[in-house]
Amino acid sequence: MARIVSARRSLAKAATYRVLIMAMDFATIYLFTGAVRVALGFMVASNVYTTIGYLVHERVWAHVAWGVTEG
């Protein structure tokens, strides 16, 4: 029996992961610069393109059988 990973699951994983990363990005940049606007700008720009990249990466890996076993 093949394991099928839904696109909705991948989207939910990507969204929750991005929330965590956005908070970490903001905190790190704010600690280095002390500037809320700089931290927010970096957080938004960085997370738009990395979210798309993560989602594409997740969907590709959903089709890779390597390392997946059926229990």
Query: Is 1 within a domain?
Result: no
Distance CA 64, CA 10 (A): 14
Q: Is residue 71 part of a domain?
A: no
* 17-53 per-position pLDDT tens digit: 888 988 999 999 999 999 999 999 999 998 888 888 8
Q: According to the model, what pLDDT value does residue 1 have?
A: 62
The model carries a pTM of 0.59
Q: Which domain holds residue 33?
A: 7-62
Is residue 68 in a domain? Answer: no
Under DSSP, the state recorded for 21 is H
User: What confidence tens digit (pLDDT) does each residue in 45-59 have?
Assistant: 988 888 888 889 989
Rounded to whole angstroms, the Cα distance separating 36 from 58 reads 31
Tokens of 61: 């890996």
- Number of domains composing the chain: 1
Encoding tokens for residue 35? Answer: 């500037």
The verdict on residue 70 lying in a domain is no
